[in-house]
Amino acid sequence: MIDKKRVLDEFFQLVQVRCSTHDEREMGDILKKKLQELGAEAVHEDKAGEALGGNCGNIVADFAATVPGRKTVMLTAHMDCVEPCADIHPILENGVIRSDGTTILGSDDKAGVEAILEALRQVKEQKIPHGPLQVVFTVSEEGGVHGSQHLDQSLLHADYGYTFDTHGHPGYMTYAAPGKNQILIHVKGKAAHAGVEPEKGRNAIIAAGKLLAAAPQGRLDEETTCNAGTITGGTAANVVAAECTIRYEARSRNKEKLAKLTKEIIDHFEQGAKGTDCEAKVELAPDYDPYAMPLDSPAIALAKKACDKLGFPVQLEESGGGSDANHFNSYGIPTVVMGVGMTDCHTKEETILEQDLYDACELALGIIKEAAE
């Protein structure tokens, strides 16, 4: 049985630590100390922060087995939060935890962090037998899953893993997720005085608008989507806009569909721009590949057994979003994403049920126990 008061107190403490993407240093130091106190035989920090222009790397901790001959289980969560994540004031009311409404709450993903910490604490205090464990706390997950993308793979040796980082009550799991490509489109025209000689200009914003109106958008099928997220350009209302930039993304759980859609978007803008008297240059930045775990995979089977023993209903779903699990799966570590109860993430309305917080801790502990049997 987990220590509910300790869990709640520590969760409240963690969410009050500002942990912006690329500025995870304070949280990283706190977690390294906690992992050492919990008995990790080694705690590593890689160089991902340097590669990304941040101040903290991914943290990887190893816990030696007390039961020999077992598979190595990896538990992961990410440290960073979306903005605004400074001066968070968590409130518990009627079994629901929220912020005071001026910030996010930070259960994405401090709830996942807390689930792992409490599970490890129970293992140590109760001397629970366990196989070899790896714990990975990543940086820069928000905005592109870049921390795990730059993780030092030589530190990893797990057989399968669990990323505690999605909505849904504990027992909810996602076993498949899309790959994603970032597409940056630069439309170039020609500046001119908008009131004196607009005829001499070529408006990049107008060209971009015409191209966007005919571009792929939204849900294309059950596993494929794309979105034009931002558009910026121009310098002043009295100047014909010489430049415009569009930030696009394409996603699909099918790698071939993702490649085809990405090419379609690139061709649409590069070729279509010729009919607008403007030019378009495209930059492609792949974020992560899709993955799909077999429903009978050992990782899912073990998690289902843990849920059954705890009485948590199991719900297996395909996801429309990516996570650190995309990269872990690409590194050869079958990893399923576990629900921790977070709702309305990335908004000031974010909440988590108090009971879900406790249940996530129970499930992380249950997975460790099940892996030892």
C-alpha 188/C-alpha 162 separation (Å) is 45
The one catalytic residue among 10, 80, 159, 354 = 80
The one catalytic residue among 62, 108, 114, 141 = 141
C-alpha 100/C-alpha 102 separation (Å) is 6
- Strands 351-353, 218-221: pairing is unpaired
Residue 286 burial class via C-beta count within 10 angstroms: exposed 0-12, middle 13-18, buried 19 and up: middle
C-alpha 47/C-alpha 336 separation (Å) is 25
C-alpha 139/C-alpha 55 separation (Å) is 10
- Strands 160-167, 73-78: pairing is parallel
Which distant-in-sequence residues (6+ apart) come within 8 Å of 205 by Cβ?
187, 231, 233, 234, 241, 244
Q: Identify whether 80 is a catalytic site residue.
A: yes
C-alpha 289/C-alpha 177 separation (Å) is 9
> ∠ at Cα 135 (131, 141), nearest 5°?
150
Q: Identify whether 289 is a catalytic site residue.
A: no
Catalytic residues: 80, 141
